[in-house]
Structure 1
Amino acid sequence: MALEISEPQRLAKLDGREIALGARAFDVLAYLFAHSDRVVSKAELLSHVWSDLIVEEGNLSVQIAALRKALGKERIKTVPGIGYRLIRAATSAPPQAQPDQPSLPSIPSLAVLPFTNLTGSAEQDYLVDGIVTEVISALSRVSGFFVISSTSTFTYKGRSVDLAEVGQELGVRYVLEGSIQTAGNRIRIFTQLVEAESGHTLWQERFDGTDADIFDLQDEVAQSVAGALEPKLQWAEVARAQAQPTENLAAYDLCLRATPLLLKLHAPELLDEGLALLDKALALDPDFIQAHALYAYSHTSAFATRWWSFEKAGAAEPHARRVLDSDTDDALALAYAGHYIAYLKHAYREGLTALERAERLNPNSGTVQMLLGWVHTYINDCRPAITHLERAKRLSPLHPHIGVINGGIGNAHLQMGETETAIRHLEQAVTEYPEFASNQLMLIGAYWSVGRKADAKRMADHLRRKVPDMTVDTFLRTRPHHGEDYNALMVDALRGTGFPD
């Protein structure tokens, strides 16, 4: 079916039939039509169509939805994280899954979007986000669900989004939305389950409680969504999924506040601020396992960015041991602690055992898959490493540490001698997460090994500015095991690019 556009007449025809469009929808279509040979970014469309106004991205989503309704969904392709591309001539062939758009899993697939904070206080964002994260965690542990992790869904926070677009970008059939209100110590949570493609509301519910029984509210929301999605699932499986993290709500509050500071890690100052909050939480509740786990994980990140020395980062071992010696069934806590002792203490088998248990507890955690993949790279077990890391990308395509995931994939390919593939992933990783010095280190080795010595030296100069005390001995003393060929490659590259022994 042919699409025709006449801008002077402001007329659009599909297979000779005139299409009724609003003014903004026509402007969007005309611009996409004129640039149908490429992907047009959202920013470019907003700038062109609303050149005289400052508008939110949601305005564009509304017009795209209207165009898809008029032209057919297959006419306008979403390129996740970038923009849209218009397909001028539709074919009668069945649509094929696009490599940049995940296909729907065979089991019920769900994304829980950040809830809207209606408390009237931005300071309550941490509480709202904490409830959403706990609900995602509970649902992820149900083997019959495919649940997108919070690291991807939280990229939609504060945005007006088109649910059909969210479904396409994340590869899910259902979306859970919600809002939270407070009055004194009372909390009201409103949720609705929506079929992403049609926008049809399948179920909605309201939950009331107090700040003292917040954990019961989290469990109740998780159970109710499970019932709406798949009535045959065992309710008990969800009921066991979310154990109350701590009896001390003040400690839990402090840990929630520390979490975004320690996981984003864009500056050393945030690390210090987050650790100070964890110190307060552990002073209130020394047995708070999630706080111990986050403490350990933040130290691995502090060394991976090279903000801290290997020795300083290694001082968090008692926190990791506290987690591993407990009987916790918190998958993320086990993953953080297991990765810590593998990465910074080189206790590979013990770390892998903890991560494998974490995977059994929560097979749908993108972070668990990411850390499990990295530990496999440490022991030169590269094919399983790639499998886990690719699964992490599928579970969490918008993970804030996607650069760490791609860096792990690049590391595995580099160890296997697939250097050009490694370079492609590592270059992407360095762009995605410039703070992660380990990616830059690996890219130096990859460039050097294929004779791209100028590129290797350029990257080495960049790394030296960030880590002026980097030496070959530091690399050999602190590296995870990897394989001997890989280590020899890296030593040759570091010496060749001017790092002292």
Structure 2
Amino acid sequence: MAEQIQRKLAAILAADIAGYSRLAGADEERTLARLRALRSDLIDPLIQVHHGRVVKRTGDGSLVEFRSAVDAVRCAIEVQAGMAERNAGLPPEQRIDFRIGIHVGDVVEENDGDLMGDAVNIAARLEGEAAPGGISLSEDAWRQVRDRVKEHFIDRGEKALKHIARKVRVFSVELEGPAATRRQDGAATAAGAAAPPPHLSIVVLPFANFGGDPEQEYFVDGITESLTTDLSRIAGSFVIARNTAFTYKGKPIDVKAIGRDLNVRYVLEGSVQRGGSRMRVNVQLVDAETGNHLWAERFDKPLTDLFDMQDEIVGRLAGTLNSELIAAEARRAERSPRPDSMDLHFQGLAAAAKGWAPEYAAQARGFFERALALDPGNIEALVGTATVDMMGGFIFTADDRTSRFSAAESTLTRVLKVAPNHAWAHYLLGFVLIHTARIAQGIAECERALALDPNLAMAQWAIGQAKYFAGRGEETEAHLNEALRLSPRDTNAHIWLMGAGFAKLQLRADEDAAARFRGSIERNRNLPIAHFGLAAALSHLGRTEEAKAAAASGLALDPTFTIARMRAGAVTDNPAYLAGREHIYDGMRKAGVPEG
């Protein structure tokens, strides 16, 4: 019989050190020595007194199980009071400040004592919501303790926590003594020194309603609210909640002051103006530290159904902002003398966004592996390595496609065990399943990704690819169009167009195929397989010299490519799919692509 899963209700406390990478980078040996001393002299004795059990420790982080939320909160309060005393008199750059998150929920206990489940993930995300020296609780934990501890609580409203499907109402403990002066929004430390803003931290300010039409106000506010929700789905992001953002509504905007007040790196502001039968929406992304404009977009559309317009505008903005914010974080990381794990993660994403050529994949892998060396628990860096493995298997730049896909699948299985609502990981797993002949399972994973993040254009495209592998290339175009609607300037759009080109070749629509491949190459010239696809289409159109030039361009990017390698990568045994592949091989052969 299968081993029965052991579930139980537990109070989970998650803690880490704010700015640990900075402290360790300045003096690693001293920081580690202080941390060991704090654990033995202060933290572990308090955990024991309050009947807690240390589940695991990863670097500066700790996960602790308690019998009750009351025990967990009392322990956390005493830890923070003890830390305030130990930090007294130290300069800000030498203080060790813990952030603590507490949640009560159902967990699964493994044989080795480890705990898994959403309750653990929520506690970890609540820790990120706490200010340095502060404590954040979920509403479930707050209900258990509100009448049993003397401290007061601050209701911070519902928060969209990263990789958590539903919003969680968050409360902060209002601490007494030296720690009480700490800002609960994380903007400053007890001594008034500014804490560094979190990576990819942003506030979406209420959009201005130019013209003042009160009937338009709900549309304007809806854009702000929806953007706030959708941006919180970006991996690694920290987005200020809607209730806080709306306190700035109708007030003069000083971007630098807002950045300092909310401790964020970026501010998104915009306006909506209605003129006759048209609606104009202007949006701009601003660096809160410098006040420099990083990106701007304008929508000028005929006035139709307002809700449909809102969905389209928000979807396109969220997709584009994902790329823009990652690029901005990567530029910051390049200027950092001591990049931390997340800095390196963003640099890896930026390298991968240059194109799926082997050199960029190698650069990306290097950044992700360095990130994991600094923080083995960096989920986003793990997903990054899976992305690179998936890329290598997909674009025929290696003969070991099976091992690449297998490595990606293994990594993603680990990730989803810890972060079951990671939309990008579900998409990647779906992609791997699709490309290893498990079409139905792959489509289901991509649909799960879209349920978690409706703006995930890559998942739309992957479903279109699956239809091509199933011999239904005529259905691929609709998924391409939806992906482009969601993210018309996506850095991966050249991949989508390339995939649509092969679907057109399956249908013997060679002219349309050539147009798709040309569109792919115009957006990014670094994808070898797009050049080989163009060569095949041009060969069938009788444009031999152009076909040979396209093949030569592909071989310049990947001299090791052969038709045999591509043949070995056939995904399914569907007759229509295989017949289409023969059409592709024949065109490549005529263009001079090596047989292998």
TM-score by length of 2: 0.43
Instruction: Give how far 1:286 is off.
Output: 4.3
Instruction: Give how far 1:400 is off.
Output: 1.7
Contact 1:413 1:422 in 2 (8 A): yes
Map of 1:454-473 to 2, 5 A cutoff?
454-473=545-564
Which of 291, 306, 310 pairs up with 2:381? 291
Contact 2:356 2:527 in 1 (8 A): no
CA 1:200–1:453: 2 relative to 1, 3 Å: closer
Which of 130, 150, 167 pairs up with 2:200? 130
Deviation string, structure 1 residues 114-151 (Cα, Å, up to 9, x no partner): xxxxxxxxxxxx9788235999xxxxxx9x9599999x
- Residue 414 of structure 1: aligned partner: 505
CA distance in 2, matches of 1:450, 1:200: 43
For structure 1, list consecutive stretches of 5 or more residues without a partner in the other structure. 1-125, 136-141, 151-175, 209-228, 231-248
Instruction: Give how far 1:189 is off.
Output: 5.9
Corresponding position: 1:487 with 2:581: yes
Contact 2:368 2:381 in 1 (8 A): yes
Deviation string, structure 1 residues 269-318 (Cα, Å, up to 9, x no partner): 54334323322433455454433222222233345555544447444342
Deviation string, structure 1 residues 189-231 (Cα, Å, up to 9, x no partner): 6553411667999999xxx9xxxxxxxxxxxxxxxxxxxx99x
CA 1:329–1:318: 2 relative to 1, 3 Å: same
- Residue 194 of structure 1: aligned partner: 271
- Residue 484 of structure 2: aligned partner: 393
Corresponding position: 1:276 with 2:276: no
- The one-letter code of the counterpart of 2:471 is N
- Residue 370 of structure 1: aligned partner: 461
Instruction: Give how far 1:405 is off.
Output: 1.9
For structure 2, list consecutive stretches of 5 or more residues without a partner in the other structure. 1-195, 206-222, 232-252, 289-308, 311-338
Instruction: Give how far 1:267 is off.
Output: 6.3
* 313-322 or 396-405, which deviates more: 313-322
CA distance in 1, matches of 2:375, 2:471: 39
SS of the aligned residue for 2:490 comes to coil
- Residue 595 of structure 2: aligned partner: 500
Contact 1:407 1:429 in 2 (8 A): yes
Map of 1:319-330 to 2, 5 A cutoff?
319-325=411-417, 328-330=420-422
Contact 1:337 1:351 in 2 (8 A): yes
Which of 403, 406, 423 pairs up with 1:331? 423
* 409-418 or 284-293, which deviates more: 284-293
Instruction: Give how far 1:339 is off.
Output: 1.3
Map of 1:140-159 to 2, 5 A cutoff?
none
Map of 1:51-450 to 2, 5 A cutoff?
130-131=200-201, 186-187=263-264, 190-195=267-272, 251-265=341-355, 268-283=358-373, 285-304=375-394, 307-311=397-401, 313-314=404-405, 315-325=407-417, 328-343=420-435, 345-450=436-541
CA distance in 1, matches of 2:536, 2:454: 33
Instruction: Give how far 1:181 is off.
Output: 7.2
Deviation string, structure 1 residues 146-167 (Cα, Å, up to 9, x no partner): 99999xxxxxxxxxxxxxxxxx
Contact 1:178 1:192 in 2 (8 A): no
Instruction: Give how far 1:250 is off.
Output: 5.4
CA 1:129–1:177: 2 relative to 1, 3 Å: farther
Instruction: Give how far 1:332 is off.
Output: 1.8
SS of the aligned residue for 2:595 comes to coil
- Residue 98 of structure 2: aligned partner: none
- The one-letter code of the counterpart of 1:432 is R
- The one-letter code of the counterpart of 1:420 is E
Instruction: Give how far 1:335 is off.
Output: 0.9
Map of 1:25-40 to 2, 5 A cutoff?
none
CA 1:265–1:426: 2 relative to 1, 3 Å: closer
Deviation string, structure 1 residues 88-139 (Cα, Å, up to 9, x no partner): xxxxxxxxxxxxxxxxxxxxxxxxxxxxxxxxxxxxxx9788235999xxxx
Contact 1:128 1:180 in 2 (8 A): no
Contact 2:202 2:266 in 1 (8 A): no
SS of the aligned residue for 2:201 comes to helix
Where is the strand percentage greater, Structure 1 or Structure 2?
Answer: 2
CA 1:203–1:478: 2 relative to 1, 3 Å: closer
* 425-434 or 455-464, which deviates more: 455-464
- The one-letter code of the counterpart of 2:586 is D
Contact 2:533 2:588 in 1 (8 A): no
Contact 1:252 1:281 in 2 (8 A): yes
CA distance in 1, matches of 2:254, 2:506: 43
The Cα RMSD (Å) is 4.7
Instruction: Give how far 1:391 is off.
Output: 0.7
Contact 2:399 2:565 in 1 (8 A): no
